[in-house]
Amino acid sequence: MKVLLADDEPVTRAMLCGWLRNWGYQVLMATNGREAITALESDPDLRLAIIDWEMPEVDGVEVCRYVRERKSDEYVYLMLLTARNGAEDIVAGLEAGADDYLTKPCNRHELNVRLRVGRRIIELQQALVAAREALRVEAMHDGMTGLLNRTAFLERMKGELSRSEREGLPLGVLMIDLDHFKQINDTNGHAAGDAVLKEVAKRVTGILRSYDVVGRLGGEEFGVLLPQCSTEQARRLGSRVLAAIRTEPIVAGGVTLEVTASIGACSTEQTLDRIPEALLAAADSALYRAKREGRNRVQVVIGTDWPKLGATLRPASVKPVLLTGS
């Protein structure tokens, strides 16, 4: 484990460095507070630091205060080293952000034990950060399919719409609804329905580009964001998705099921609106046209559909850049 040793006294620095290396630490050294701050800023693996109080330019208390004021999930355990041993000095050091306080001259065994305590606290903090990240990921994803859930999908959509606007490139949107899914559940049980959803999620993500975004919006409904896609390109990608879903039967719970889907496609190519819900509603309207016309097909939002949805049409003279191919 790396440890930063900041002390302006060469003799003390050499003695402590020897101890630390004998205990298996990788030691980085600083001779003043400014060097200590630079080291902590430049090396994210530095999680343990021994900081002398009395140093030129920036003292140890200021280093502690600086570390605690910066925004970082990577906790640094700070041990303040000083000849001061008054109660008011100890309080000042701890209030500045030090985790521990060791007086000079140092006791070798005491320092070793205190460092082990620091390592345990760092490990606990790392476990806390990992648990918090796991909860964040869980809150963003659908537990069954692993896809983004509706809330996270809409949030991602806002970002993609902003990027689309900045780059002058269209964003395509697909809405996918599995045909007769209720019948699958009613006839074969919910376990079979769950297996179908997982397999469809796998097939959809497998057929799309690495930067396309897929989410499960609820029930048997999925959404797809297609950066740099015109309406026609979105339609073609929708056709590929449909083929991936229906070409091979899905085996679920020992039953072989023929699964199809209805897909609605649209793109910001035709509208100035940048509201996620409005674009999803547009793709949804095309999806329900696909349902009305017999299911198992892809439909796109046509120009006359947009005013019915309350959308603002893009003037014919203002077109986004369109990319060739799909």
- pLDDT of residue 305 exceeding 80, the answer is no
The reply to whether 220 belongs to the active site is yes
- pLDDT of residue 316 exceeding 50, the answer is no
User: pLDDT for 91-138, tens place per residue?
Assistant: 888 899 999 988 888 899 999 999 999 999 999 999 998 999 889 888
Q: What is the pTM of this model?
A: 0.68
Q: Are strands 26-30 and 2-6 parallel, antiparallel or unpaired?
A: parallel
* Structure confidence at residue 319 (pLDDT): 45
Count of alpha carbons within 13 Å of 278, Cβ hemisphere only?
Answer: 19
**Are residues 46 and 52 in contact, defined by beta-carbon separation less than 8 angstroms?**
no
302 versus 7: which is more confidently predicted?
7
Average pLDDT over residues 311-326: 46
The average confidence (pLDDT) of the chain is 90
Any idea which residue has 């000042």 for tokens? 92
* Structure confidence at residue 137 (pLDDT): 87
Which residues, including other chains, have CB under 8 Å from residue 254's CB and lie 6 or more apart?
Answer: none
Rounded to whole angstroms, the Cα distance separating 61 from 110 reads: 22
- pLDDT of residue 321 exceeding 70, the answer is no
Residue % of the chain over a pLDDT of 90: 73
User: pLDDT for 262-291, tens place per residue?
Assistant: 999 999 987 777 889 889 999 999 999 999
Least confident of 35-49, 85-99, 241-255: 85-99
- pLDDT of residue 318 exceeding 90, the answer is no
Give residue 73's pLDDT band: very low, low, confident or very high (50, 70, 90).
Answer: confident
* Structure confidence at residue 92 (pLDDT): 87
Catalytic residue among 35, 62, 160, 220: 220
Rounded (10°) angle between helices 33-42 and 60-69: 30
* Structure confidence at residue 310 (pLDDT): 63
Domains and their CATH numbers in the chain? 2-139 (3.40.50.2300), 150-308 (3.30.70.270)
Which residues, including other chains, have CB under 8 Å from residue 184's CB and lie 6 or more apart?
Answer: 178, 192, 193, 196, 257, 259
* Structure confidence at residue 33 (pLDDT): 92
Give residue 82's pLDDT band: very low, low, confident or very high (50, 70, 90).
Answer: confident
Give residue 89's pLDDT band: very low, low, confident or very high (50, 70, 90).
Answer: confident
Rounded to whole angstroms, the Cα distance separating 290 from 298 reads: 6
Give residue 38's pLDDT band: very low, low, confident or very high (50, 70, 90).
Answer: very high
Average pLDDT over residues 287-309: 84
Nearest partner of 215 among 258, 160, 154, judged by Cα? 154
Residue 46, classed as helix, strand or coil, is coil
88 versus 98: which is more confidently predicted?
98
Give residue 68's pLDDT band: very low, low, confident or very high (50, 70, 90).
Answer: very high
* Structure confidence at residue 122 (pLDDT): 93
